[in-house]
Structure 1
Amino acid sequence: MPDDPHPIQPPGSAPPDQTATGDQSPPRNLEAEEALLGTLLHNDRAFEYVEQLRGSHFYVPVHGRIFEAARGLIQQGRRADAVTLKPQFAKDQALAGIDDYLERLVHGAMPPEAARQYGEIILDLAQRRSLMEIGARIEYNASDVRVESSAAAQIEDAEQRLFEISEHGKGPGGPQPFVSGLTDAIHAAEMAYQLGGKLSGVTSGLTELDDLLGGFHRSDLIILAGRPGMGKTALATDFARVASKPETFIPWEEDAGKQKGIVAVFSLEMAATQLANRILSAETSISSESIRRGAINDRDLTKLIDVSKDLEELRLFIDDTPAISIPQLRTRARRLMRTEHGLRLIVVDYLQLMTATRNHNSRVNEISEISQGLKSIAMELNVPVVALSQLSRQVEGRDDKRPQLQDLRDSGSIEQDADVVLFIYRDYYYKAQQEPQQKNDETDAEHIRRHAEWQTRLAKIANSAQIYVSKQRHGRQGVANVHFDPRFTRFSNLHEPKQ
């Protein structure tokens, strides 16, 4: 047996007694790594306590390889010990002496429960080394003016890297006692009861829709879909506008003060100025076109100024970065969550304009990555996410133009990932395109009569819209009838339309 207690230590590795950090030395604890590996090889039940670890977390590369080999065997349901691991390294000349080293590791084994503490030490030190690397990268990029990325872009990149370190350090969710979920469910029921059994989430501002949904609930992904011209953006903007008003805040569980927070709109199609224009129009009943063109009078201008002062109180943030990715959106949403007000609602307009982070062989897979990412954000931040989606053109080929779940364009796993699917539909949009033309054998009087009947039918549905709740994971399906005013791109309650 060799005298060197670390016979396979790679060149350049720190000696075993250097377990603390110097001024520039990477933090490490080789004894903790050896103790964990020995414990794992002696009793693979220890793996239950370190499932979150990966080989990359170990400072000594050989230790990482040993851990990965053991992890692979255990996950296959096979035993991992000094005997079963030897064939894994038999052909690697660089690991001469590994047999004796594995045996020595086993001799230092501790009870399986001790693996938890060793794993925590290894993970903490790995994160510290990653922090040092990120810090060095930040310093280098910030000090080199030749680096093309702006300071803002470097900050976002650093935040994303820090987030990845945090995520990689999280252990698996794992089983929880039923009583834990039961307690949360009872608490939610008590809150709903105190609120009259109606609104227990973020209000949509539309009574019939709130009656169906009970508001937009934490951790839910809500898909709002419709064909062009239906008013998806207008409706989503209304959701954001109403939800960001202080008077709509509700006492939401124990951290109510924190949740009286920010509404974040990620607008990939319209600029922030355009959305602000729409909100001004909805609040003042002055058409957005008139506001944009300046076709207003003194009275209108005074009204705009007065209303704008009130709108300054909205906790509404708009990010109009085009083609944003899931990691970028997550980073910016987490930044808002860390503010003193917290985050109340996220709106994304729209899903198909987002950028996938990986190369996929189909558009369907790209959309699946994006929808799964949005659901992940909703769950991680514990806020509702409303994401707009296009519908397939096949809707136009049917006599019944009302949308169905199968119409979700490039749907991928959208329907599966969504907790709620809403379809916006306005029959007026299609009926307006069916103006009756005079037939060859038709008199002028008959044509005028038919045209007048068409105009009458059109007038009756001009301001009518339906929001179909076609999927609700924890509730019923249904339809909410609402009022739509195209002049001000505003949705309101059907029986109480704003004038």
Structure 2
Amino acid sequence: MNGSRQLPNNREAEAAVLGGILLRGVNALNDVIDVISADDFYHPANKAIFEAMSTLAQRNEPIDVITLEAQLRATDTLRLVGGIEALSRLGDRYATSHNITHHADLVRRAAVLRNLAVAASEIAEDAQGDPEDPYQFVDEAEKKIMAVNERGRKTSYVSSRELLLNVFKGITERHKRKNPITGVPTLFTQLDTMTSGLQPGDLIILAARPSMGKTAFALNLCTNACVPQARHRNLPEEERPVLNPILFFSLEMSAESLIERILCAEARVDFSKLRSGQFVEDDFRKLVNAADRISNAKLYVDDQAAPTILEIRARARRFREDKNIFDGNPEQHGMVVVDYLQLCRGGGRFDSREQEISEISRGLKGLAKELKMPVIALSQLNRAVDSRADHRPMLSDLRESGAIEQDADVIMFIYRPERYLSSEASEEERRAVENKSEIIIGKQRNGPIGTVHLTFIKHHTRFENPAPGEV
């Protein structure tokens, strides 16, 4: 920092807080202890006095000029504050402590600005040092700035009365909406019934063996959340699902290939015809109509290969903070999807791949909590599921499963029995499992576990609600 320019501070407010505590003792200290700490005082003398006051309060001793002098003398800071004369002047100067919380807030505000100035200066200085990994440096810089904001917020307990007021406000709003979905809607009826939508702050793991349709199902969840659906056009506006912005990290597939899949699923056009160009005029009309709907959706794709968890978090933060993407609607949660977890990098050196996956898993859970939106991470399953008589996945089938299972709020598996049919299966056996799929909820921290039955239209790469009587 430039030494000729003083950092933000408020000497008068600091003195007013200390004078108020001298007047009213520990009761006044209790009024401000959740607003400020000793580190929020800029002037060393004021900081020393506040620390002495806090020490006296912790020992259940009265706070007055005499006890304060003794405590400052014991810590060899009495001379720093100007002796007992300075303490007496402090008590005489302020005749009331009624505005002490306002004065404490002024001290805190100055401390936040001061900490921000210091952090910005450190970031600028470190940037001049040519960091080895600039992307990790940016992430660390963002965290440093956010830490300043967090230091300005004191955590505190909340009364049951206040909590109940907030809870009933939410209950009343949901009742008015007549909509049981409190998170991002999936539009899969059974799944929404079991989860009430994909909840903000949740890390959702979507796992399956290869060729089960992980990416297809994830894309269906995305388009159901962000693309206007024809079936909702005739609903009153207050009953229509809120459209949610989506950020999709495609680590395996190019962005263009991903959009092709979305287009095929939305248009209900055979994917092989789309890829080969051998489609009829009616198919082209469907593709154009679907493209029009998708182009107006807030769906964003990032297809950089092998990003670190730090890079993912930094980009997701920028996505969440973009006012052109989020319109301020409290029901618009947004969603982040990572396809897939094992293709991420931890961003450091690890003794084992399991340790690296643990770092990635914790990072994604932290991201969900920080941004207050659901984060879906696709994950592989180990081969053990293929060797069992019952091929339905279980939690133990998760590859590098320990940390993933612990961090996840919801774990869903995709199972399609058709995938395990032998070449000798009869026509009757094939018809019995054709297009059938199960979404197995193996873990849900705040809800039931169980199985959701869906229909998988393979040539459209699309999951749908089953027709009545199909299950």
Which range, TM-score by smaller chain?
Answer: 0.7 to 0.9
Pairwise CA distance, 1:239? 0.5
**Aligned AA for 1:100?**
R
Deviations 1:441-465 (A, max 9, x none): xxxxxxxxxx252x54234323111
- Could you tell me which residue of structure 2 aligns to residue 6 of structure 1? none
Match of residue 265 from structure 1? 248
The question of 1:462 aligning with 2:434 is answered yes
From 454, 469, 481, the equivalent of 2:453 is 481
2:77 is matched with: 98
Give the distance between the partners of 1:479 and 1:494, measured in 2 at CA: 13
Secondary structure of the corresponding residue to residue 487 of structure 1: helix
Matched, 1:210 2:199: no
Q: CA deviation at 1:337?
A: 6.0
Counterpart contact for 1:288–1:488, Cα < 8 Å: yes
Residue 64 of structure 2 corresponds to none
Matched, 1:310 2:278: no
- Pick closer, same or farther for the CA change 1:182–1:485 going to 2, 3 Å: same
**CA displacement at 1:401 relative to structure 2:** 2.6
Aligned to 2:393: 403
Q: Which amino acid is the alignment partner of residue 409 of structure 2?
A: D
Tell me if 1:186 matches 2:168. Answer: yes
Percent of aligned pairs with the same residue? 32
Distance change (3 Å), C-alpha of 1:333 and 1:180: farther
* Greater alpha carbon shift after TM alignment, 457-466 vs 24-33: 24-33
Q: Return the offset for 1:13.
A: 7.8
Distance (whole Å) between structure 2 residues aligned to residue 462 and residue 468 of structure 1:
18
> Is the CA contact 1:40–1:47 (under 8 Å) kept in the aligned structure 2?
no
What is the one-letter code of the residue matched to 1:389? S
Amino acid across the alignment from 2:208 = G
Q: Deviations over 1:178-237 (max 9, x none)?
A: 233323333444444455564444321212212222322344333322233322221111
Shift in Å at residue 423 of structure 1?
1.8
What's the counterpart of residue 9 of structure 2? 28
Equivalence for 1:120: 105
Q: Alignment partner for residue 328 of structure 1, among 292, 314, 328?
A: 314
Match of 2:65 in 1: none
Q: 1:85 to 1:214 in 2, by over 3 A?
A: same
Kept in 1: contact 2:184–2:197 (CA 8 A):
yes
Whether the 8 Å CA contact 1:470–1:477 is kept in 2: the answer is yes
- Match for 2:262 among 279, 300, 308? 279
Aligned to 2:225: 243
- Change in Cα spacing, 1:120 to 1:209, as seen in structure 2 (3 Å) is same
Distance 1:198 1:397 in 2: 40
Q: Is residue 472 from structure 1 mapped to residue 447 from structure 2 by the alignment?
A: no
Deviations 1:31-59 (A, max 9, x none): 55567679889759837744575776554
Change beyond 3 A, Cα 1:131–1:191: closer
Counterparts of 2:27 and 2:218, CA distance in 1: 52
Residues 28 and 100, structure 2, Cα contact 8 Å, conserved in 1: no
TM-score (norm 1): 0.69
Q: Which amino acid aligns with 1:209?
A: L
Q: Deviation string for 1:68-105 (max 9, x for gaps)?
A: 9998x899x76797767888x7xxxxxxx535336668
Q: CA deviation at 1:28?
A: 2.1
CA distance in 1, matches of 2:163, 2:145: 30
Against the structure 1 CA distance between its residues 260 and 307, is the aligned structure 2 distance closer, same or farther, given a 3 Å change threshold?
A: closer
Decide whether aligned partners of structure 1 residues 281 and 137 sit closer, same or farther in structure 2, where only a CA change above 3 A counts: farther
Distance 1:364 1:79 in 2: 50
1:85-484 equivalent positions in 2, closer than 5 A = 98-101=77-80, 108=90, 116-117=101-102, 119-132=104-117, 162-172=145-155, 174-194=156-176, 198-247=180-229, 260-297=243-280, 299-321=282-304, 322-325=307-310, 327-336=313-322, 339-342=325-328, 343-349=332-338, 350-356=340-346, 366-429=356-419, 431-432=420-421, 434-435=422-423, 451-453=424-426, 456-484=428-456
Query: Which amino acid letter does the alignment assign opposite residue 407 of structure 1?
Result: D
- Cα 1:260–1:291 change in 2 (3 A) is closer
Unpaired runs of at least 5, structure 2: 62-67
CA distance in 1, matches of 2:39, 2:324: 29
One-letter code aligned to 1:490: R
Structure 1 pair 241–259 and aligned structure 2 pair: CA distance change class (3 A): closer
Provide the TM-score with structure 2 as the length reference: 0.73
1:323-368 per-residue CA deviation (whole Å, 9 max, x = no partner) reads: 3426414422432467452453313223444444676666556545
In 1, Cα distance between the equivalents of 2:334 and 2:450? 23
Distance 1:153 1:233 in 2: 28
Letter in 2 for 1:421: I
User: How far 1:403 sits from its partner (Å)?
Assistant: 2.0
Preserved contact between residue 8 and residue 114 of structure 2 (Cα < 8 Å):
yes
Q: Which amino acid aligns with 1:125?
A: A
Counterpart CA distance in 2 for 1:258 and 1:25 is 52
Q: Output aligned runs, 1:72-83, within 5 Å.
A: none
What count of residue pairs does the alignment treat as equivalent?
A: 441
Matched, 1:491 2:463: yes
- Once residues 35 and 383 of structure 2 are traced to their aligned partners in structure 1, the CA distance between those partners, rounded to angstroms, is 45
What SS class does the counterpart of residue 424 from structure 1 fall into?
strand
- In 1: Cα distance, 2:163 partner to 2:294 partner: 39
1:194–1:54 CA distance, 2 compared to 1 (3 A): closer
Counterpart-to-counterpart distance in 2, 1:357 and 1:66: 44
| 1:475 partner amino acid | G
Note if contact 2:208-2:414 (Cα within 8 Å) is conserved in structure 1: yes
The alpha-carbon distance between structure 1 residues 197 and 394, as it changes in their structure 2 partners (threshold 3 A), is same
**Cα distance in 2 for residues equivalent to 1:412 and 1:269:** 24
C-alpha RMSD over aligned residues: 4.7
- Do the aligned residues in 1 keep the contact of 2:320 with 2:326 (CA within 8 Å)? no
For 2:440, what is the secondary structure of its paired residue? strand
The Cα of 1:374 is off from its aligned counterpart by 3.8
Tell me the distance in 1 between the aligned counterparts of 2:251 and 2:36.
37
Partners of 2:354 and 2:51 in 1: how far apart? 33
| Kept in 2: contact 1:268–1:323 (CA 8 A) | no
Equivalent residues of 2:436, 2:455 under 8 A apart: yes
Other structure's SS at 2:459 match: coil
